[in-house]
Structures are given as structure tokens and as C-alpha cells.
Amino acid sequence: MSLELVHHHADFVVLNKPAGLSFHSEFEPGLVALAEAQLGEKLYAVHRLDKGTSGLILLARSSEAAAQLSALFANGAIDKWYLALSGGKPKKKQGWVKGDMVQARRSAWMLTTAQSNPAISYFISAGLADAGRRAYLVKPYTGKTHQVRVALKSVGAALLGDELYKGGQADRLYLHAYALGFDWQGQRMELLLKPDQGDFFTSPALQQLLDQAWAKPWDLGFPFFHRQAAADAAQTD
């Protein structure tokens, strides 16, 4: 498998992770192993994507860069935006989703009303003129397992292709790591990658939305948030 190189930097590379490819090697080489073989160098994981999720993945090219990038991710200093598709009508069309996450059955998670260590996300959405599907642009401010999937499930918008959370049937999990934004060595990095897998992701209606309205997620006015303000933010709408 040949991986698409989205951005090449002296300190890191950014790749397009295909849906269905494991991050770490299991019964066959995972994304990190494939990237190392393709680029001919040691690479270091600083964040990860679920197997069914496609899109932007950043790998450090040295242990020093890995430590710095890991700290940025841990401190919420790297902005991430995810693109998702769902069927049906959500309980709300945009806003905060906040709450503690607890494990449920079958490796699933669920959102609770408790706020002791909340998963916090903000989303906007838009209807698509094809079979009642709705697109979501989600910015997670914390980094919990399955956070985006659980957040949208909690507002009645389980993702298409998400069998674990009882989303509608589809040819893939409709979740894509769409954009990254962060400051690195005095330079602002803004990276965006449109999805290229899945019939619904490549539909003309979605492509038009991305080109006309969501081409620059960092300019869309998502609320500012800092990890130290998590307790206060979790109590407001």
C-alpha cells in the first residue's frame, strides 16, 4: 500500500491515513510501519486515529520533535477538525457537547451528565441535498477514545457506517480527520485534506459544501478553549 504524503517538514510528516488501515501493526503492517518502509526512516507516533477513520495523521521524524508535538497535543495546542456524516435529524444543529465518558458494552463508550473529567467538543452542521444526509464539522477540545463518535451519537446523529454506535449502514465509517492547525517553531501550520474514500464523502453535494463553506475551518469562529478552563467551559452552553 502506498500512502499519500500530504506535507513533508524537517521535523514531521503528515500522511493521508486510509479508512480501514490499523494505526499499529496487528496481523499485517499498520500505518506507522508502512510509512517507515515507504519513507525509509524511523517515525514516531504523537497521536492516532481509529481504524475506520481516514485523514490527516502526523508522525514525528525524531524523538525530540515527538516529545514536543506530543506535548502540544496533550495540552490542546493543536487544533483538530473532523468531518462526519450522519442520517436523520439531530437534537441540535450546532453547539457544545460535554460530559464524562464511561465504558459501555462491546468496547463502546457513552456520554454521561457528570463533569468531573469531561470530553468537550463543539460542532456545526449543514444539511445535504442528497437523501437526507447531514454533514458535521467537529472540533474536539479534549482527546478521549471515540470522542467524536460518542459526541454525535449523544445528539442523535450516530455516524453512517458506525456499527458500534448503531449508525446507518454504509460502505465505510464516515469520519475523516479533515484539518490541523498549530504553531511550530514560529510558523503557523494549517493543513487540510478532503476525503477521497466513500460514496457519500465524494458526493457533489458534500464537495460543494467543503469548497464553499468549510474550506478554512480555522476561520469559522469555533469558540476558543484552553485545557485549564475545562471545568468552567463544561458548565456553560
**Contact yes or no for 189/181 (Cβ under 8 A):** yes
Residue 115 has pLDDT above 50, yes or no: yes
pLDDT in tens, 66-91: 999 999 999 999 999 999 999 988 99
pLDDT at 234: 42
Give 159's DSSP letter: B
What pTM does this model have?
A: 0.93
pLDDT in tens, 3-15: 999 999 999 999 9
Catalytic annotation, residues: 50
Do strands 44-45 and 12-17 pair parallel, antiparallel, or not at all (unpaired)?
unpaired
Give 2's DSSP letter: P
pLDDT in tens, 193-226: 999 999 999 999 999 999 999 999 999 999 987 6
pLDDT at 227: 55
Residue 235 has pLDDT above 80, yes or no: no
pLDDT at 199: 94
Q: Cβ contacts of residue 192 below 8 Å, gap of 6+?
A: 178, 179, 215, 216, 217
Q: Determine the average pLDDT of the residues in 21-49.
A: 94
pLDDT at 78: 96
* Phi, psi for residue 13 in degrees, rounded to 5: -125, 150
Measured between alpha carbons, how far is 93 from 11 in angstroms, rounded to an integer? 39
**Three-state DSSP class for 44?**
strand
